[in-house]
Structure 1
Amino acid sequence: MKLTFLGAAQTVTGSRYLLEAQGKRVLIDCGLFQGTKNLRLRNWAPLPFPADTLDAVILTHAHIDHCGYLPVLARNGYRGPVYCTPGTADLCDVMLRDSARLQEEDAAFANRHGYSKHHPALPLYTLEDAEAALRLIGPREFDAPVSLGEHLSFRLLPAGHILGAATVVLCSGHTVLAFSGDLGRPEDPIMRAPASPAHADYLVVESTYGDRLHAALNPEDELAEVFARTFARGGIVVMPCFAVGRAQEVLYHIAHLKETGRMANVPVYLDSPMAISVTDLYRRHMREHRLTVSQLHALDHAAFMTRTVDDSKAIASRNGPMVIIAGSGMATGGRVLHHLSLYAPDPRNTIALVGYQAPGTRGAALEAHAPAIKLHGDYVRVRAEVASISSLSAHSDYRETLRWLAGMTCAPVRTFVTHGEPAAADALRRRIEETLHWDCSVPEQGQSVELPEETVRAVPCPPCEGAGAQGIPA
């Protein structure tokens, strides 16, 4: 059995793991690389294997750094199944179409304005490619055994984080491999706590916040302070925001701040058609989150929902104070770029960062208080206040991750720490070794490891029991 790390190795993006076992080749996650140019260029590199040699793809969740490469895989000839939870399938339908449209629009914009080094600028993939990928998706319920062939099966366990997010637990013979995916927080106000697998012989665990603890702050206190001081100077709060998960959490807190009178009655705009569509999906998956029907209603009325381009442009004609929530969360694309271009130069305004900012992104430059950022080929001065809301995170910190690991009944034979910047990944590796005394390492990009299947259990592992009832669809 062989495991190859094709992404998310010493970086927090591009999640892709190739497992070769029982005569099958299975790709766990199929994400885009984001961030610095050298990472983004990996998206354009030839596939390290012929796409049609894969037998299956399993997604942990629908964030673009975990699913956004699927259209490239489909364009290159992959026609097999893509397994995920129903929530992830619904989100992928939104995310992949939006990602394709953004790439087509960005390429067209670059060609119109001539700022691309490539002539003509081309999108990484098109809407047609995305639709081809979506046709391959076959949803599977949480904790339902799924067969990938003789002696190879998997289950999906709730991981918190966002709707549909899962930990993948694979069984090859009597050997268990678990891929954590992105782990949510046990006390998240919206998503339910992640579930630990009972056991795993080999484990791949994320380390986004492997070197830090989340601040013991109330996010509503932080938001209220940012809003109050910005509105006092007549300013506008621009919030680059992830459309899946983070936008809904921000709306949840804004609704509560307004309800309790802790926020001025100013207009709030959710300028993200994708985030609006995602918010609607929470009603379809009520069992996955903690929100009541009345809280969902409050979310819907916490902001003006801006769907069309004309509505988005109309926001610029309004005077402050107001709040504009727009994608993308790391300011790598989307409508937020136009708002940053307009509002970043004014010192009365605030740019509020509400999530992790990967190195090389505009969000990371803003977080580092860069004096200017490049937008649509030109540099824009940043005179606005830049505030980081540190208590808003959908990722577990290292203490919460250790608690999730400790929920397993026995130590894995070997643990691999991925999906984190080098310092974060190594910090979590060290903490796992020192706290749990597990054999732990940080793999490199492209590294392959042979996993001996010597660990034979007296009884079949849980993922195998009854798995023969479901097979790969024709």
Structure 2
Amino acid sequence: MKTVKVHFLGAASTVTGSKFYLETPELNLMIDCGMFQGLKELRLLNWEPLPIDTSKIDFVLLTHGHLDHTGYLPRLAKGGFKGSIIGTAPTLAISEIILLDSAKIHEEEAERATKEKYGKHDPALPFYTVKEAEKAIDLFRFEKKEVWIQLSENIRFKFRFNGHIIGATFIELEIFGKVFVFSGDIGRTKDVLLAPPKRPKWADYLFMESTYGNKLHPKEDMEEILTTLIHKTINERGNLIIPSFAVERLQSLMYRLWKLYKQNKIPNIPIFIDSPMGTNVLSVFEQFPDWHKLSGKEYYAMRNHFKIISSYADTWKTIDDPRPKIVIAGSGMVTGGRVLTYLKQLIDIPTTTVLMVGYQAEGTRGRQLLEGAHELKLFGKYYPVKAKIRHVESLSAHADQQELLLWTKDIENIPEEVFLIHGEPLALDTFRVKLRDVHGWQVTIPKLNNVREFVI
């Protein structure tokens, strides 16, 4: 008999900070290594030392490159981890972009907080630096999807295509003959850029995300919504600001807007892409054409249609540009990035429309805007919200409840146990009941820092 321990170090009873540590007789693994985002009480957890010895971790396996799945890697390396960080090639390319961008933002925010004295510490400390991010990136090692990779005599894993964002996978981890499946973030069945997710066929222990475990995405006509908003922006001589996640959401928005222009549904309104990270992610689409649906011809035609901003000086030129325009800028939950500069200048103007295009976690500025906040705190100061706020959920890169159930449809056995992770409390409990009713599965909702022991 062998014992495997799983430590739920993140994304347990919350939707961020994915981190799962596995102790086995042969080696120690971590599945994902993300930062907590959103509520202050969650963000403060990032600064707490992990309740494990990080120097004893042999491998980190990444499901995909998003910050809430990779953002803690520099801290892990700083804390003594010297093993390999393994992901698919596009996942590691995305992770490198995100970590370096995040590190730069951490450094800039610490510098600004010190200068303007709105932080609690003097001098303010960045969560990690660019040098610390580079130290983690040096540990990257890529592996192909759909191929078993042997880690030790009795432990192997396989990355399996999962939609969501370019490079994303779920992980089938076989330990002494038992299959542990970690879903990562599950993508949509119908995505404009990505193929549908693969599905697991066997899972002795299933660790499954439930971001939208209690919801069905609305059947919105995105063409109609975008067309109407753009014509309204032109008529009012206003600004349409779209805070966007740099990975996948930005590229899918570009594709949709380009198609609308090609179909003569919108005029040639200036569209600015102000997301250095998002622009870098575009190059990943160019580098890995087998991971998405765009042909080379479509990719270059689409890219050339937009005005891509590279410098912060051009950000200010864009703000001062009096023409009606569309600006797509990071970040998607309005937690940082270039979009804050636009909102600081334009959020108090009634002809501004802010279009939210994805999930907004508790405690983020994006959630505040959706809930009708009359003012927004930016760079330590409050600004009145007079802009119109719109929200569309159908662009989400996360599967909804129906798609999550479909993802479980091909599992041939009855899992010994199912753990629901990466969800807010209502979504977790709703999906727990749904899985019990549909499959008759035993479902557990772990809490942060729970440890579960398996005898196999």
Q: Which amino acid aligns with 1:40?
A: R
8 Å Cα contact 1:22/1:172 also seen in 2: no
Query: 2:31 and 2:302 mapped to 1: Cα distance?
Result: 33
Match 1:436 to one of 433, 436, 439: 439
Q: Paired residue for 1:62?
A: 65
How far is the alpha carbon of 1:316 from its aligned partner?
1.5
Query: 1:60 and 1:387 mapped to 2: Cα distance?
Result: 31
Match 1:109 to one of 103, 107, 112: 112
How far is the alpha carbon of 1:244 from its aligned partner?
0.4
Q: Paired residue for 2:89?
A: 86
Query: 1:232 and 1:438 mapped to 2: Cα distance?
Result: 54
Q: Which amino acid aligns with 1:416?
A: F
Q: Paired residue for 2:382?
A: 379
**Secondary structure of the corresponding residue to residue 418 of structure 2:** strand
How far is the alpha carbon of 1:452 from its aligned partner?
2.8
Q: Which amino acid aligns with 1:276?
A: T
**Secondary structure of the corresponding residue to residue 28 of structure 2:** strand
Q: Which amino acid aligns with 2:209?
A: E
**Secondary structure of the corresponding residue to residue 157 of structure 2:** strand
**Secondary structure of the corresponding residue to residue 455 of structure 2:** coil
Q: Paired residue for 2:172?
A: 169
Q: Paired residue for 2:47?
A: 44
Query: 2:268 and 2:395 mapped to 1: Cα distance?
Result: 22
How far is the alpha carbon of 1:148 from its aligned partner?
1.9
RMSD: 1.0
How far is the alpha carbon of 1:228 from its aligned partner?
2.1
Query: 1:214 and 1:389 mapped to 2: Cα distance?
Result: 9
**Secondary structure of the corresponding residue to residue 177 of structure 1:** strand
Q: Paired residue for 1:189?
A: 192
Q: Which amino acid aligns with 2:154?
A: H
Alignment deviations for residues 296-344 of structure 1 (CA, whole Å, 9 cap, x no partner): 1232023101011111221122013101111111000011001011110
Query: 1:225 and 1:272 mapped to 2: Cα distance?
Result: 24
Superposed, 1:154-165 pairs within 5 Å as 154-165=157-168
How far is the alpha carbon of 1:219 from its aligned partner?
1.8
8 Å Cα contact 1:223/1:389 also seen in 2: no
How far is the alpha carbon of 1:18 from its aligned partner?
0.8
Match 1:314 to one of 314, 317, 321: 317
Query: 1:296 and 1:407 mapped to 2: Cα distance?
Result: 34
Q: Paired residue for 2:241?
A: 238
TM-score (normalizing by structure 2): 0.98
Query: 2:363 and 2:17 mapped to 1: Cα distance?
Result: 14
Q: Paired residue for 1:3?
A: 6
8 Å Cα contact 1:160/1:192 also seen in 2: yes
Query: 2:181 and 2:25 mapped to 1: Cα distance?
Result: 16
Superposed, 1:8-407 pairs within 5 Å as 8-407=11-410
How far is the alpha carbon of 1:370 from its aligned partner?
0.4
How far is the alpha carbon of 1:264 from its aligned partner?
2.7
How far is the alpha carbon of 1:101 from its aligned partner?
0.4
**Secondary structure of the corresponding residue to residue 399 of structure 2:** coil
Percent of pairs with identical residues: 39
Query: 2:175 and 2:342 mapped to 1: Cα distance?
Result: 50
8 Å Cα contact 1:2/1:450 also seen in 2: yes
8 Å Cα contact 2:233/2:325 also seen in 1: no
**Secondary structure of the corresponding residue to residue 199 of structure 2:** coil
How far is the alpha carbon of 1:231 from its aligned partner?
2.3
8 Å Cα contact 1:373/1:380 also seen in 2: yes
**Secondary structure of the corresponding residue to residue 29 of structure 1:** strand
In structure 1, runs of 5+ residues without a counterpart are 454-474
How far is the alpha carbon of 1:22 from its aligned partner?
2.7
Superposed, 1:456-471 pairs within 5 Å as none
Alignment deviations for residues 443-471 of structure 1 (CA, whole Å, 9 cap, x no partner): 11111111231xxxxxxxxxxxxxxxxxx
8 Å Cα contact 1:60/1:168 also seen in 2: yes
**Secondary structure of the corresponding residue to residue 7 of structure 2:** strand
How far is the alpha carbon of 1:47 from its aligned partner?
1.9
Alignment deviations for residues 329-373 of structure 1 (CA, whole Å, 9 cap, x no partner): 100001100101111000111011011000000000011110001
Query: 1:103 and 1:15 mapped to 2: Cα distance?
Result: 20
Query: 1:311 and 1:359 mapped to 2: Cα distance?
Result: 32
How far is the alpha carbon of 1:250 from its aligned partner?
0.4
Q: Which amino acid aligns with 2:129?
A: T
**Secondary structure of the corresponding residue to residue 169 of structure 1:** strand
**Secondary structure of the corresponding residue to residue 203 of structure 1:** strand
How far is the alpha carbon of 1:68 from its aligned partner?
0.6
Query: 1:439 and 1:452 mapped to 2: Cα distance?
Result: 17
Aligned length: 453
Query: 1:210 and 1:224 mapped to 2: Cα distance?
Result: 30
Query: 1:333 and 1:225 mapped to 2: Cα distance?
Result: 28
Q: Which amino acid aligns with 1:250?
A: L
TM-score (normalizing by structure 1): 0.94
Query: 2:288 and 2:412 mapped to 1: Cα distance?
Result: 30
Q: Paired residue for 1:409?
A: 412
Dislocated runs of 4+, deviation >6 Å? none
